[in-house]
Structure 1
Amino acid sequence: MKKHINVVAAVIHNEHKEILCALRSPVMALPNLWEFPGGKIEEGESHETALIREIQEELNIQIEVGENVEDTYFEYEDFTIQLTSYFASINSGEMKATEHAELRWVTIDKLIDLEWAPADIPSVLTIKNLQNI
């Protein structure tokens, strides 16, 4: 039986209607693919608590978690993932990548141009179809 992972991701947006995209580093699983930052939900954590903790750890910033964007189940070769993404905005902190190879602000119409991790694609498509964020 494949390992199953519950994950949350932040679709962080700014005042220019750009979305923060994170490039997975060469040493991570699914290397060199883009994703929305986030991570595993630990036992006993709510989605919101996990997302706030993960973004603090990965990006050194505090966020405010907003509406749900997408719930995606995806089966990779070695594991399955339940990915729940949420809109988020930055409250405070100086952003720096502690795990990712690159962070990039991308306009909504250009999101589809990046090579995304498969589980993140449904969120990308949902965002692309929204008029306002």
Structure 2
Amino acid sequence: MIKVVCAILEQFDRVLVTQRSERMQEPLLWEFPGGKLEPGEEEEECLAREIWEELSLRIQPILRLQPVIYAFPDKDIELIPYICTYQSGVIQLSEHKAYQWAHPQDLLSYSWCPPDIPVAKDYLRTKGAAS
């Protein structure tokens, strides 16, 4: 089981979503940015590191949501989402093709990477914005 953390980064009543590049698995699908936990690394520490490496942003994880277990054909992952706040930085994409600051009510209209779908729904329930 591969543990992966992801950031639901909030700023100005919007949420950051990123589009996977053509060279990534699940190409061109949207996801909440994040990455794999390294041995001995704390979840919040990993998330801050990954968001800095991938997007050049400093963030603060605030609230851990329900993890999602997902079985891909070649691996199983546990996706661990955190609602986060923006601290500093300007987005510079190093791995992703694109990004958007989405209104929460628009989140379910994206073509999501499969494990991110239940994360988006749980986030909306948590925020009381589920449709």
Query: Is TM (by shorter chain) over 0.5?
Result: yes
1:14 aligns with 2:11: yes
How many Å apart are 1:131 and its aligned residue? 2.6
1:112 aligns with 2:105: no
Corresponding position of 1:25? 21
**1:1-133 pair list within 5 angstroms:** 4-15=1-12, 17-129=13-125, 130-131=127-128
* Structure-2 separation of matches of 1:30 and 1:125: 20
Query: TM-score when scaled to structure 1?
Result: 0.93
Question: Where does the alignment leave 5 or more consecutive residues of structure 1 unmatched?
Answer: none
> Paired residues, what number?
128
How many Å apart are 1:70 and its aligned residue? 2.5
Describe the superposition over 1:23-59 as per-residue Cα deviations: whole angstroms up to 9, x where unpaired.
Answer: 0000001111100000000001000010000000000
Tell me, yes or no, if the aligned pair for 1:11 and 1:20 is still in contact at 8 Å.
Answer: yes
How many Å apart are 1:127 and its aligned residue? 1.7
- SS of aligned partner of 1:13: strand
* Consecutive aligned runs of 4 or more in structure 1 exceeding 3 Å deviation: none
- SS of aligned partner of 2:115: helix
Query: TM-score when scaled to structure 2?
Result: 0.94
Tell me, yes or no, if the aligned pair for 1:56 and 1:62 is still in contact at 8 Å.
Answer: yes
* Structure-1 separation of matches of 2:92 and 2:50: 13
Identity %: 34
